Amino acid sequence: MTIAALLPTDSFNVVVLAAVFVLIALGLHFTFGMLNVVNLVHGEFLLIGAYTAFQFQEWTGSVVVGMVLAPLVAAVLGVLMERGILRFLYERPLDSLLATFGLSVIIRQLVQVQYTANPRTVNDPIGGSFVALGLNIPWWRLVVVAATVALVFVVLGLLNRTGFGLYARATVRNPDLAETMGINVGVIRAALFAIGCGLAGLAGALLAPLNTLNPQFGLLFLVNSFLVVILGGQGSLRGLVAAGILLGGSLGILQFNISTVFAQIVVLVIAIVGVRLRPIVSEKLSVRRDRLRRAEALSGA
Amino acid sequence: MSAVLTVSNLHAGYGDTTVLRDVSFEVPAGEVVCLMGRNGAGKTTLLKALMGMLRKTGTVLLGDEDITSWKGHRINAAGMVWVPQESSVFPGLTVREHLVIAQRGNNVEKGIAQAAELFPVLGERLEQEAQTLSGGERKMLGIGQALVVNPSLILMDEPTEGVAPVVVQELIPAIALLRERASVMLVEQNIDTAIALGTRAYVLEHGVIVESGDVNALHDDGTLAGRLAL
């Protein structure tokens, strides 16, 4: 008997949920993790992405065009929001929290006015599933997992291997010094906000076929996005991925045994305990890294 | 000689507090002008205002260009660079990355080699995170960053302050080398350093320029000692 045979046939959902937790938090890594804006409008950018996919499905009969355009629509709206409002509030975190809360309510209400509160559905662009290792794997869910993995590597590459990434890291760590060293901090911040909103829009479009759409769609993901970014360590992409896998994976496993509501409560407890323990773990890892570095230096000498 | 920097009737401060009042001075091309004064006189505030970091009124000309309302990145691109006093660095970024940022991607390796030639210790620590450098090494990095962009004017804020004497002996020749390549505005409290490097001096007190002239003359007649004494 293989291990796979012991698992429920829908065990792949554990992987999917882990990927979804990472996917919904990727955009927040830019707006909250890097730019330090307590971005309560993040969920509404998922909403914008999802409804962009829905709207294009209505217009063209195909959801794919909408999915491609969703991140662009969200990014453009994100830039307008950042340049119009949030750029004045970087040094005023409480005001930015209030502003993003207000914007989230406005966007939600506008969506409700336009599309009503009735549930909407976005078609699965591929449909169907296949069986592998005894597990039932829906094609679209596999696409969501693959897209998440690809996006993580793209974001890692963007931030660590490009000139833009270097300027962005410098900007978020010391904006005054960055500005006086020739970096246009305003442009970098706007670009980071646009990328964050674009990623949220893309996440919303990718997740739309897996959920019923309504104006509350973004709220479903907002709290979990913040949990992932905070548990992973604000500004740490690797931490975000680890936290997303931990929380999403835990939720997926727990849902086999207990109700979704209790599973979410347990996930919250895991997040709280994790946040409490993270400094201790970080300290131990840091000490270990220093020891290794010293040992390497001694062996080199 | 034409002025690389001309400041007229500058008022600047933080929020509602005005620190600098009616400050006017010039930095002639090719000279090292010392800005002197006790702690709290407004020297660093003046440099921050010049770099576009504080609200200000008055006129600031870089060459013939009016840069009064420009932001820091544009001022930097125009050729005025700042070496801050506190040796600020970007946490988590390596020495090499700092030098790359300073050059904004232009002929990077040549610039890094230049900085490493001037300060060999930087060359040995290119892959080290800049925040782990000593205070003196951070000052070297700041000067190295200024060097690699070929500026027309360098604003240098107390480069020898809080640094071990042995490091000062390394920094002073490097600053002298910068002097050959660009005009320098040197904020300094140490009279000996000012005399070693400077040509002209301005003395700031409570945000107002109270003395100006040849640095040696101001030293010889006891003005500097009197103004800077505690």
| pLDDT tens digit sequence for A49-78 | 999 999 999 999 999 999 999 999 999 999
What's the pLDDT score for residue A269? 94
| Residue A300: pLDDT band with limits 50, 70, 90 | low
d(CA A101, CA B22): 44
Q: Do A169 and B90 make contact, defined as CB atoms within 8 angstroms?
A: yes
| Residue A4: pLDDT band with limits 50, 70, 90 | low
Helix/strand/coil percentages in chain A, nearest 5: 80, 5, 20
Provide ipTM, 2 decimals: 0.89
Pure H helices in A215-259: 217-232, 237-257
Chain A and chain B share a number of CB contacts under 8 A equal to 68
Tell me the DSSP string of A28-86. Answer: HIIIIIIT----TTHHHHHHHHHHHHHHHHHHHS-SHHHHHHHHHHHHHHHHHHHHHTG
Span A75-117, pLDDT tens digits: 999 999 999 999 999 999 999 999 999 999 999 999 999 999 9
Is residue A3 scored above 80 in pLDDT? no
What's the pLDDT score for residue A297? 63
Q: Which of B140, B107, B108, B147 is nearest to B125 (CA)?
A: B140
Q: Do B51 and A181 make contact, defined as CB atoms within 8 angstroms?
A: no
A260-300 and A237-257 are packed helices; what angle lies between their axes, rounded to 10 degrees? 140
Query: What's chain A's average pLDDT?
Result: 92
Contacts of B34 (CB under 8 A, 6+ apart): B186, B187, B188, B194, B197, B198, B200, B201, B202, B215
Is residue A285 scored above 50 in pLDDT? yes
Give me the residues of A, 58-77, that contact B with CB < 8 A.
Answer: none
Span A124-160, pLDDT tens digits: 999 899 988 888 899 999 999 999 999 999 999 999 9
Average pLDDT on A227-242 reads 92
| Residue A220: pLDDT band with limits 50, 70, 90 | confident
- Identity of the residue in A167, A169, A179 whose CB atom sits nearest the CB atom of B71: A179
Preferred mutation among A87, A173, A181 to probe B, highest tally of B CBs within 10 A: A181
Average pLDDT on A231-237 reads 90
Average pLDDT on A213-231 reads 93
Contact between A200 and A74 (Cβ < 8 Å): yes
* The two three-digit tokens of residue A25, written as one number: 């938090």
Is residue A8 scored above 70 in pLDDT? no
Beta bridge partners of B208: B205
Please indicate whether residue A289 or residue B223 has the higher confidence score (pLDDT).
Answer: B223
CA distances (Å), A299 to each of A41, A191, A292, A296, in order? 52, 44, 10, 5
Tell me the DSSP string of B109-172. Answer: HHHHHHHHHH-HHHHHTTTSBGGGS-HHHHHHHHHHHHHTT--SEEEEE-TTTT--HHHHHHHH
CA distances (Å), B186 to each of A36, A177, B86, B116, B183, in order? 35, 18, 14, 23, 10
**pLDDT tens, position by position, for chain B (230 residues)?**
589 999 999 999 998 899 999 999 999 998 999 999 988 899 999 999 999 999 999 999 999 999 999 999 999 999 999 998 766 899 999 999 999 999 977 778 888 998 998 899 999 999 999 999 988 889 899 989 988 888 999 999 988 887 788 888 888 888 888 888 899 999 988 888 888 888 999 999 999 999 999 999 998 988 888 888 75
What's the pLDDT score for residue A1? 47
Q: In what order do the strands lie in the sheet with B3-14?
A: B17-28, B3-14, B55-62, B65-66
* The two three-digit tokens of residue A297, written as one number: 């230096």
| Nearest-neighbour CA in chain B from A173: distance (Å) | 6
Q: Give me the percent of chain A exceeding a pLDDT of 90.
A: 78
Going along chain B from its start, the domains and CATH numbers come out as 3-228 (3.40.50.300)
Burial class (CB in 10 A: 0-12, 13-18, 19+), B104: middle
